[in-house]
Amino acid sequence: MTDIVHTPPATLTRAREIALGEGLQYVYTGNVHDTTGGTTYCPGCHQALIVRDWYNIKRCDITPDGKCPHCATPVAGAFETFHGQFGRRRIPLAINRR
């Protein structure tokens, strides 16, 4: 697939904005350096909670029970306690299929 041109970052940003405008809450640009497009924002108070740049998680401010620390709105997902810098590592995920 090296013959296919990469999607321009501006197209990803526009698609994200359209999705957010339609009411989706967790929409991200991927495989690009775009901290705004890679960040998880609280659906209640809109504070930045998980700040990412590409695969680098720069900050994670979600309570261990999966809520915004500013307004206690639940954030969709499964979370563990985040200690310091996570970096660019990825965690393998096993999905059970029936």
User: Which parts of this chain interact with Zn ion (CB under 5 A)?
Assistant: 42, 44-45, 68, 70-71, 73
Nearer to Zn ion, 8 or 69 (CB): 69
Cα gap 35→23, rounded to integer Å: 20
> At its nearest, how many Å lie between Zn ion and the CB of residue 72?
7
From the list 40, 29, 34, the residue with the least C-alpha distance to 77 is: 40
Query: In Å, how far are 17, 20, 51 from 54, measured between CA atoms?
Result: 18, 19, 10
Nearer to Zn ion, 13 or 47 (CB): 47
> At its nearest, how many Å lie between Zn ion and the CB of residue 57?
18
Nearer to Zn ion, 18 or 20 (CB): 20
> At its nearest, how many Å lie between Zn ion and the CB of residue 74?
10
Task: Tell how far CA 56 is from the center of its chain.
Answer: 11
Structure tokens at 49: 């909670």
